[in-house]
Amino acid sequence: MPELPEVETIVRELARTLPGQRILQAKVFRPDVLREPPHIFCRAVAGAEIQSVNRRGKNIVLSLSPSRILVVNLGMTGRLLHLPPSHQVAPYPHRAVDFLLHSGGALLYTDSRRFGRAALFSEEEWERESERLGPEPLSPDLTVQAFHRRLTRSRAPVRSWLLDQTHLAGIGNIYACEALHRAGIHPLRKASSLALSQSGRLLRALRDVLTEALEARGTSLRDYRTATGEEGGFLTSLRVYGREGRPCVRCTTSIARIVLSNRSAFFCPRCQPETSSWRP
DNA sequence: AGTGTATCCTGCAGGC
DNA sequence: TGCCTGCAGGATACAC
C-alpha cells in the first residue's frame, strides 16, 4: 500500500485544499469498504464540514464538523483523489465512495482490490484506536533508547517486527526492506538480538529513507497516486525492493529474495549478513 | 502473550 | 493469442 511517505504526501495535498469545504453528499458504490451500513455512513457525512486532514501511521484522518472523525486506510490499492470543480468523475475506475463537495469538486475514494477501509469514529473512539498504534518513526519524541527497548522485547524477525503497526506506525514492506539494507541488518535477524548501536542505525535508516521518499512524493510501484493523481518519484531510488538478481548498489552482490510471513523480503547477502554484527 | 498463516480481492506479468 | 500460475505496497481473525 501506500506507506507513510505516500499517505503523508496525500495528506499534505488534501490539507491545502479540503479544510473549510463541506461534503454535500456521499455516494457508496462498494459498501464492503465501509464499517457501517451505507445509509448510516451517508447520513453522517452529508452536510459535514471538513476541518482538518491529518495522518496517523498509514491512516488518513479527516476531522469533520459536527464532530466525527473519518479515517481512511488505503490498503494496497486505494486512492484518494481530489478533483476540482467541473472535473468528470466517470473515467475513474474502481470507485468505492464519491464525496461530492459543496464547492462543486469531489473527493474520490477508489480501490481495485478493496483491502482499504473507511470508518467513522467519535473523537474518543479514534483516540483509543490511535493508541493501539506504535509511535511515529519521524517523531522526535521517539528516542533510540525507547526504540531499542521496544525491539528487544520481541523475538520476531526484525522485518516482521517493522511491519507490525503496534510496534511502529507507518512502515510497510518497501521501506522496511530499504531501511534494513541501509542499516546493514538481515531481515531474519531476531529483533531482540540487535545491539543498541544497531537499533540506532536502523532508526536512522528508517528516518532517512522515509524522509527521502517523502521528498520524492512516494513510490509508485503500480497503483499509488497522490491526491492530484500524480505518480511518486522514489521508485528509481529503491536499493533492494523489487531488485532480486540485480546488483547491490553498494557492493554489486546479487540482491536476494526470501519469503517471510508470506511477504517477500529483499536484501543484499553481503551488506546484510545473517549472523555477524554489522561492520563498517 | 506473541508469532506465523491464511484470507479478503482484483489485475497484471511471465511461462508455456 | 490465450490460458494458467504466481505475485502484489495491508490488516486481521485465527491456530498454536
List the A127 CA – B1 C1' distance (angstroms): 24
Res. A177: pLDDT tops 90: yes
For residue A196, how many other CB atoms are within 10 A of its CB? 14
Res. A237: pLDDT tops 90: yes
What single DSSP character describes residue A193?
G
Mean pLDDT of A185-202: 97
Determine contact, residues A253/A165, Cβ cutoff 8 Å: no
Domains and CATH numbers, chain A: 4-131 (3.20.190.10), 144-238 (1.10.8.50)
What is the pLDDT at residue A178?
98
Which residue approaches C10 most closely, CA to C1'? A75
Determine contact, residues A267/A261, Cβ cutoff 8 Å: no
Q: Which nucleotide is nearest to A111 (CA to C1')?
A: B10
Span A106-154, pLDDT tens digits: 999 999 999 999 999 999 999 999 999 999 999 999 999 999 999 999 9
Higher pLDDT, A241 or A86: A241
List the A219 CA – C7 C1' distance (angstroms): 18
Which residue approaches B12 most closely, CA to C1'? A222
What is the pLDDT at residue A263?
93
pTM: 0.96
**Mean pLDDT in chain A?**
95
Strand order across the beta sheet in which A59-65 lies: A49-56, A59-65, A68-73, A117-121
Mean pLDDT of A26-47: 97
Q: Which nucleotide is nearest to A261 (CA to C1')?
A: B4
